[in-house]
Amino acid sequence: MSKDFHDQGPRRVGQVKEVTSLANPIIKDIKALTNKKSREESGTFLAEGLKLVIDAIELGWTIRTLVYAKAAKGKPLVEQMAARTVASGGLVLEVSEKVIAAITRRDNPQMVVGIFEQRWAPLKGIRPQEGETWVALDRVRDPGNLGTIIRTADAAGASGIILIGETTDPFSLETVRATMGSVFAVPVARATPEEFLAWRKSAGVSIVATHLAGAVDYRTIDYRKKPTVLLMGNEQSGLPDQLAREADALARIPQQGRADSLNLAVATAVMLFEARRHLLSLAEGK
Ligand code: SAM
């Protein structure tokens, strides 16, 4: 990592730099953010597109660097985001289209890219309240699934996501793309299975685990009793016994046809919207 990249703390005076060379060390550092190791070391990640950058800044995420293509120069919203980046001590780069295409590894790149500080919700601080639904994902592997689940959790009004065990990175380019911006709206925590099980003891939640061998039809669950954590299994192997046996209910979504299971993101969506329907119909007295 170049010195410049790390030195962009809040005290740094913001500035606009023009960059056209792929050999520029700051560009090399930004390109490296496609690797998990570089993201972890710098504690940052990339988000593509003006809408996402605006959403993130509006939601209070810290922007380290704003990159825009020359063609976007002078657009009022881009200028506004550049001014806000500079005001918060970040760096603004005006780059050639070749550079922005290399950063995002796309032939038709977005004109604006933001580099933001990662944000993880501390598990210990999560105290779900009545009527809340959380999603816990056991070893989710596929970035597209994780991004889709974060987006769906946002749309279904869920309160957040807990990632259990070795999982794909919510801040990878692919996952952030799949969230369509919801990564900035939905808190994400991480835990080992042991930490998750210790947390649930004091969190006052009901764990509804989804399982192909579940004894309970998912439509019969009462989501009113306590705040609910929907626990979803790994794409290949499903939920391990260590987690399944700790659940308050093992729920099954009845299926027809030849498919042996639903895609993880689809199953999560079915569960989330059923919980929402249940909670809303109760609130409306139906
Ligand atoms: N072969 C895996 C297994 O045996 O569980 C299939 C895993 S499935 C692709 C991923 C996760 O989605 C499951 O662990 C479960 O949480 C959820 N899921 C998928 N279909 C489901 C269904 N019909 N009922 C309940 N949960 C389901």
CA–CA separation, 129 and 227 (whole Å): 6
Q: How far is the CA of 146 from the centre of ligand 1 (A)?
A: 15
Q: How many CB atoms lie within 10 A of CB 72?
A: 21
Mutate to test the pocket of ligand 1, among 210, 258, 271 (most ligand atoms within 8 A of CB): 210
Average of per-residue pLDDT values in the chain: 93
Q: Minimum mean pLDDT among 129-133, 163-167, 222-226, 252-256: which range?
A: 222-226
Domain regions of the chain by residue span: 3-117, 123-283
What homologous superfamily is domain 3-117 in, according to CATH? Ribosomal protein L30/S12 (3.30.1330.30)
CB of 252 closer than 6 angstroms to any ligand 1 atom: yes
Strand 112-117 with 133-138, pairing: unpaired
Question: Which of 146, 241, 261 should be mutated for ligand 1, with most atoms under 8 A from CB?
Answer: 261
Nearest CA to ligand 1 atom 9: 235
If phi > 0 it is left, if psi is from -120 to 50 it is alpha, else beta; for residue 74 that is: left
Please check whether the domain covering 123-283 is classified as CATH 3.30.465.10: no
pLDDT for 44 equals 98
Q: How far apart are CA 26 and CA 28, in angstroms?
A: 5
At 141-198, the pLDDT tens digits run: 999 999 999 999 999 999 999 999 999 999 999 999 999 999 999 999 999 999 999 9
Residue 5 pLDDT exceeds 60: no
Q: What is the mean pLDDT of residues 100-113?
A: 91
The pLDDT-based confidence of 2 (bands split at 50, 70, 90) is low
Question: Could you read off the pLDDT of 10-19 as tens digits, one per residue?
Answer: 333 347 899 9
Q: Which of 181, 183, 180, 65 is nearest to 121 (CA)?
A: 183
Tens-digit pLDDT profile for residues 29-72: 999 999 999 999 999 999 999 999 999 999 999 999 999 999 99
Question: How far apart are the CA of 269 and the centre of ligand 1, in A?
Answer: 12
pLDDT over 70, % of the chain = 94
